[in-house]
Chain A
Amino acid sequence: MEVKDHRVPVTAGAGEGRTQAVDGMPRGCGKLAGFHAGYFRISLSLCGQALLWKTLSEPGGGGASAARSAALRHLSRSVPGAAHLLLWSVALAVLVGLCALYALRCGLRRRHVAAEFSHPVGVNYLFAPWISWLLLLQAAPAAAAPLCRPLWWAFAAPILLLDVKIYGQWFTDGKRFLSLMANPTSQMTVVANLVGAMAAARMGWAEAATCMFSLGMAHYLVLFVTLYQRFVGSSSLPAMLRPVFFLFIAAPSMASLAWDSIAGKFDIGSKMLFYLSLFLLASLASRPALFKKAMRRFNVAWWAYSFPLTMLALAATEYAQAVKGGVSDALMLFLSALSVIVVIVLVVFTVVRTGDLLPNGGHDPFAPPPSPSPLGSPDSSPREISHADI
């Protein structure tokens, strides 16, 4: 990447001026600098919702068990198939739009993308588009079945490449050791592997599924311990990003779903992972003070609440099929309702407060820091981020 201009915009005004002066681009492109991969949280949530609605509405849904609980059958009758299709199309449109924008950013703001890659939080969201595509693939209507296999490869390959790069960095790159970079968003890497495993298993590829599952779980073990240890001096999350703590719930639920798909039934391993994510939900829900600061102003980080809840609801549907009984049905209904409500609330907020959501003119939270020396590289201090905008 070329490092031509060292005067990196820190303020919004300067940023826009600079874009005009240097790149000769119209003003709107200044916003591209602020459009970081975190915006893919929106597509994650919507695609996850699409998968949930598909599971709830279609008979014999995603899980491998044939028997369906009474509640689920009730639900599937009440939710019309058209609603699921509509949601899927909306999710697809949003995802395509976001991908296009990000592709534009890659083309025009290469330096910013590189800076994002070096950032401990930003790098993990580079997995988000691929997760969204895989989820969308699984939620696709039956008509798209023949395309599934090649598309799976198209989406899993970038995940594997990113894996090699990022997991390798964890224990080899001196500046980016896990003990320094670990933060709750690192669980996105684990989720990506597990989603790939689940998609592969549901398409019938046992080996690929097991491979990605073991990759994800091995690193999940390491990451779980590291995150709990909370080393003094490890990158601490800004207060605005506290909603990403919900990723603690997403990873075990995803693992439970993936193992359920691989093993063919919701056995004890899946159950244990599901219970772990339930416990973590209870733990986070009983600490509202943790999220107080982040809830003051609407920003894109709020979308981080919905994806994990959706995954947990999905796992609960599988659980309710495996363990018949009132409690499991109630749990499934409660969690599904919760995730739907959260998504609706977030959509409403987005529509009403679009201004808060959009990147404010060129200010990139992962911007390469202004460096006095001509050799200033964007990844010299990956931790300097603006606390307001992520």
Chain B
Amino acid sequence: MDGKENLSSTKESSDSERFPSIFKYIASNSISGFDTTPSPRSDIALFEVPEVIEDDIQERPDNVILPTSQDQTGGLAHAHSISISMPSSPTLFQAEHSYGFLACEKSISYLTKDELNNHVTANSSSHQKMEAKCHSQPISFGRSNTVATSDVLTQSNKFKDKRYDSFKTWSGKLEKQISNLRGKPPEPEIENLTKNTKREVVPAHRFFDALEGPELDKLKASEVLVLPEDKKWPFLLRFPVSSFGICLGVSSQAILWKTLATSPSTSFLHFGLTVNLVLWCLSLALLGIISSIYIVKIILYFEAVRREYYHPIRVNFFFAPWISCLFLAIGIPSSIGIKLHAALWYVLMGPIFLLELKIYGQWMSGGRRRLSKVANPSNHLSIVGNFVGALLGASMGLNEGPIFFFAVGLAHYCVLFVTLYQRLPTNETLPKDLHPVFFLFVAAPSVASMAWTKITGEFGFGSRIAYFIALFLYASLAVRINFFRGFRFSLAWWAYTFPMTGASIATIRYSVEVTNIFTQILSVALTAISIIAVASLLTSTVVHAFVLRDLFPNDIAIAISGSKVDKNINTSDNGACQSVSNGDHYQANQKEGPSLA
């Protein structure tokens, strides 16, 4: 294979220039593992090249010399050739390749100017990879490459930030301001680096084109990210808004234990109010911690937050903090002794109201975010807020406000319910098989039944109808428990536990109304299921957090590119630095592909 390639290359070279073919031949044959970078042809742009590629370079034969520009001596000075047998002189390269690159004493490869010029997208500051790539040195690869790489890494640490600049607030200027204020010396600006950090608006359809999966968090094979996939991103960038699901799960548990302790029909269990107190304090602490982290993320990485807002599924999680606050207010232990003022209700419902105006308005008249396309079970989170608010308001003694939110929630719930049940063929976001997100179906009717009870003062027909609908949906999902398999754990699963807890609470309320052995058994059973679910989820979370350490993986969903990028040009995904249009490289491609997959 090597010989064949060399022959072809020699053929080319002999055709075009007076290049000593023997020389070429010897060069590539005598030195095994002759380090050549892939040919920087005009349609190539080198992106974040993972370290792994260094290993592959050993197997790479002499790559094809470009037919053009063979005239320079030793193949060194010309901008395109990569089969350089002579040690590259850093200064010479620096002179030629004035684009941003990293200076490293050892074998460092530089992105040729052509490669850099051929970057594809405008928002390519993160694409302008700073990592060095070994070019030409016939050095013992194993170690030196890694050494070079680690050198590159340590020195690229200070440049790592630059790649995330497009996600930072005001493209990183805020951070510089803060560090300037703190008296740090300003970092050396790499020219042209942050030039392209303009904000890009990701239209709605891009999320559907680029992502798949029930939570739209898996990247499709043909897509690329604007951030490096191989690196672990800064923690704040990995902290999704769906983390607020934990607060939802734990605070609803607090309400459950309070209901268990205070309802006459479950008094035979003899639970005290201590568990409620503990869970309540725990959920308060969790809410505080997660909110503060997310506020810091908003301050520092506003663009990332904006992208989460545009994501069709994540946007619903923006309701989660407010719903958690409402749950905390509902589940407040009586031992704390605070009487909640009505003004608190208005304060909590204000953000929900504004978010609703935006999101329901988009359903009605927004451009591309039509409900028939974007409807997904997570939309229930935007509806449940209304019912929870109505429940809290009615418990506080308000009259009109709860009815207002109940009416709005009911009207839009009808719309959403019908749409999701239809499983429209134009709807792309519903998973074909079941996923825990489907449990959100149970949330709205169960909370609506409790809210209606509080509003009307009795568990009348309206409440019963809503409750039975919730029970039916729960049952139809529970018997299909086999289909809830094979999904990757994510923090958003916490949000799917609160419907189970809500159904248990509604059942307990129903058993207060209709007290017989069946309802009591049902309440105990549902309570047990919800407690087990939360406990197992807690275990998984702890395991992922401390043992597997992947509780916060790279948040792919927010890093998709704003417009479709031809993946063949991108090297970061499969290391195929060139398109397959040249047959010489095809085999090299094949070899590289699996190793980087």
Which residues of A pack against B, CB within 8 Å?
A: 221, 224-225, 227-232, 245, 248, 268, 271-273, 275-276, 278-279, 282-284, 286-287, 290, 323, 327
Q: How far is the CA of A229 from the CA of B366 in the complex (A)?
A: 11
Known: A272-B410, A323-B400. A228 touches B373 (CB 8 A): no
Whether B407 and A290, one on each chain, are in contact in the complex, defined by CB atoms closer than 8 angstroms, is no
Q: How far is the CA of A327 from the CA of B398 in the complex (A)?
A: 14
Q: Which of B360, B415, B455 contacts A283 (CB 8 A)?
A: B360
Sample of 16 more A-B contacts, CB < 8 Å, known A225-B419, A276-B407, A282-B357: A224-B411, A224-B415, A225-B415, A228-B371, A228-B415, A229-B371, A229-B372, A229-B424, A230-B363, A268-B456, A271-B403, A275-B407, A279-B357, A279-B404, A286-B361, A290-B365
Q: Which of A228, A275, A286 contacts B404 (CB 8 A)?
A: A275
Known: A228-B364, A287-B361, A290-B365. A279 touches B426 (CB 8 A): no
Instruction: Kindly report which residue of chain A lies nearest to residue B419, judged by CB atoms.
Output: A229
Interface residue count for B (Cβ, 8 Å)?
28
Residues of B within 8 A of A268 (CB): 403, 455-456
Whether B426 and A286, one on each chain, are in contact in the complex, defined by CB atoms closer than 8 angstroms, is no
Quote the shortest CB–CB distance from B35 to chain A (angstroms). 53
Whether B426 and A231, one on each chain, are in contact in the complex, defined by CB atoms closer than 8 angstroms, is yes
Whether B372 and A230, one on each chain, are in contact in the complex, defined by CB atoms closer than 8 angstroms, is yes
Quote the shortest CB–CB distance from B592 to chain A (angstroms). 41
Q: Which of B364, B426, B455 contacts A232 (CB 8 A)?
A: B426
Asked if B408 is at the interface (CB within 8 A of a chain A CB), the reply is yes
Q: Which of A229, A278, A279, A323 contacts B415 (CB 8 A)?
A: A229
Greatest chain B CB density within 10 A among A227, A271, A282, A283 is at A283
Q: How far is the CA of A221 from the CA of B375 in the complex (A)?
A: 18
17 contacts between A and B (CB under 8 A): A221-B414, A224-B415, A228-B412, A229-B370, A229-B371, A230-B371, A232-B372, A245-B364, A271-B407, A272-B403, A272-B410, A275-B403, A275-B404, A276-B411, A283-B360, A283-B361, A284-B361
Asked if B387 is at the interface (CB within 8 A of a chain A CB), the reply is no
Q: How far is the CA of A146 from the CA of B105 in the complex (A)?
A: 104
Q: Which of A231, A276, A290, A323 contacts B372 (CB 8 A)?
A: A231
Known: A232-B372, A323-B400. A227 touches B364 (CB 8 A): yes
Q: How far is the CA of A224 from the CA of B363 in the complex (A)?
A: 12
Interface positions, chain B 353-400, Cβ under 8 Å from A, are 357, 360-361, 363-365, 370-373, 375, 400
Q: How far is the CA of A357 from the CA of B12 in the complex (A)?
A: 75
Instruction: Kindly report which residue of chain A lies nearest to residue B363, judged by CB atoms.
Output: A228
Whether A273 and B407, one on each chain, are in contact in the complex, defined by CB atoms closer than 8 angstroms, is yes
Residues of B within 8 A of A221 (CB): 414
Residues of A within 8 A of B408 (CB): 275-276, 279
Quote the shortest CB–CB distance from A69 to chain B (angstroms). 15
Quote the shortest CB–CB distance from A277 to chain B (angstroms). 9
Instruction: Kindly report which residue of chain B lies nearest to residue A230, judged by CB atoms.
Output: B370
Whether A225 and B357, one on each chain, are in contact in the complex, defined by CB atoms closer than 8 angstroms, is no
Quote the shortest CB–CB distance from B522 to chain A (angstroms). 29
Q: How far is the CA of A286 from the CA of B354 in the complex (A)?
A: 10
Asked if B496 is at the interface (CB within 8 A of a chain A CB), the reply is no
Interface of B, secondary structure class, is: helix
Quote the shortest CB–CB distance from B352 to chain A (angstroms). 12
Quote the shortest CB–CB distance from A273 to chain B (angstroms). 7
Quote the shortest CB–CB distance from B379 to chain A (angstroms). 12
Residues of B within 8 A of A287 (CB): 361, 365
Top 8 A-B residue pairs of the complex, sorted by shortest distance between their CB atoms: A272-B407, A230-B370, A275-B404, A275-B407, A228-B415, A229-B372, A283-B361, A225-B418
Quote the shortest CB–CB distance from A60 to chain B (angstroms). 25
Asked if B459 is at the interface (CB within 8 A of a chain A CB), the reply is no
Asked if B406 is at the interface (CB within 8 A of a chain A CB), the reply is yes
Q: How far is the CA of A282 from the CA of B361 in the complex (A)?
A: 10
Residues of A within 8 A of B373 (CB): 232
Residues of A within 8 A of B363 (CB): 228, 230
Quote the shortest CB–CB distance from B309 to chain A (angstroms). 17
Q: How far is the CA of A248 from the CA of B414 in the complex (A)?
A: 16
Instruction: Kindly report which residue of chain B lies nearest to residue A232, judged by CB atoms.
Output: B426
Quote the shortest CB–CB distance from B109 to chain A (angstroms). 49
Q: How far is the CA of A164 from the CA of B364 in the complex (A)?
A: 27
Residues of B within 8 A of A245 (CB): 364-365
Q: How far is the CA of A273 from the CA of B426 in the complex (A)?
A: 31
Instruction: Kindly report which residue of chain B lies nearest to residue A233, judged by CB atoms.
Output: B426
Whether B364 and A248, one on each chain, are in contact in the complex, defined by CB atoms closer than 8 angstroms, is yes
Instruction: Kindly report which residue of chain A lies nearest to residue B426, judged by CB atoms.
Output: A232
Greatest chain B CB density within 10 A among A225, A286, A327 is at A225
Q: How far is the CA of A283 from the CA of B353 in the complex (A)?
A: 10
Residues of B within 8 A of A227 (CB): 364
Q: How far is the CA of A230 from the CA of B368 in the complex (A)?
A: 10
Whether B357 and A286, one on each chain, are in contact in the complex, defined by CB atoms closer than 8 angstroms, is yes
Whether B414 and A225, one on each chain, are in contact in the complex, defined by CB atoms closer than 8 angstroms, is yes
Quote the shortest CB–CB distance from A250 to chain B (angstroms). 15
Quote the shortest CB–CB distance from B387 to chain A (angstroms). 13
Instruction: Kindly report which residue of chain B lies nearest to residue A290, judged by CB atoms.
Output: B365
Residues of A within 8 A of B407 (CB): 271-273, 275-276, 279
Greatest chain A CB density within 10 A among B408, B411, B426 is at B411
Residues of B within 8 A of A229 (CB): 370-372, 375, 415, 418-419, 424
Quote the shortest CB–CB distance from A219 to chain B (angstroms). 14
Q: Mark B412-426, 1 if CB is under 8 A from A, else 0.
A: 101100110000101
Q: How far is the CA of A231 from the CA of B415 in the complex (A)?
A: 13
Instruction: Kindly report which residue of chain B lies nearest to residue A269, judged by CB atoms.
Output: B407
Instruction: Kindly report which residue of chain A lies nearest to residue B452, judged by CB atoms.
Output: A268
Instruction: Kindly report which residue of chain B lies nearest to residue A245, judged by CB atoms.
Output: B365
Q: How far is the CA of A289 from the CA of B364 in the complex (A)?
A: 14
Instruction: Kindly report which residue of chain A lies nearest to residue B462, judged by CB atoms.
Output: A268
Quote the shortest CB–CB distance from B331 to chain A (angstroms). 27
Residues of A within 8 A of B411 (CB): 224, 276
Q: How far is the CA of A287 from the CA of B406 in the complex (A)?
A: 23
Residues of B within 8 A of A290 (CB): 365
Quote the shortest CB–CB distance from A380 to chain B (angstroms). 26
Quote the shortest CB–CB distance from A255 to chain B (angstroms). 11
Q: How far is the CA of A276 from the CA of B404 in the complex (A)?
A: 7
Quote the shortest CB–CB distance from A276 to chain B (angstroms). 5
Q: How far is the CA of A284 from the CA of B361 in the complex (A)?
A: 7
Quote the shortest CB–CB distance from A183 to chain B (angstroms). 12
Whether A272 and B400, one on each chain, are in contact in the complex, defined by CB atoms closer than 8 angstroms, is no
Quote the shortest CB–CB distance from A103 to chain B (angstroms). 36
Quote the shortest CB–CB distance from B143 to chain A (angstroms). 58
Quote the shortest CB–CB distance from B404 to chain A (angstroms). 4
Q: How far is the CA of A290 from the CA of B360 in the complex (A)?
A: 14
Greatest chain B CB density within 10 A among A224, A230, A273, A276 is at A230
Quote the shortest CB–CB distance from B287 to chain A (angstroms). 28
Instruction: Kindly report which residue of chain B lies nearest to residue A278, judged by CB atoms.
Output: B404
Instruction: Kindly report which residue of chain A lies nearest to residue B414, judged by CB atoms.
Output: A225
Quote the shortest CB–CB distance from A228 to chain B (angstroms). 4
Instruction: Kindly report which residue of chain B lies nearest to residue A283, judged by CB atoms.
Output: B361
Greatest chain A CB density within 10 A among B373, B375, B418, B424 is at B418
Instruction: Kindly report which residue of chain A lies nearest to residue B365, judged by CB atoms.
Output: A290
Quote the shortest CB–CB distance from B478 to chain A (angstroms). 27
Instruction: Kindly report which residue of chain A lies nearest to residue B408, judged by CB atoms.
Output: A279
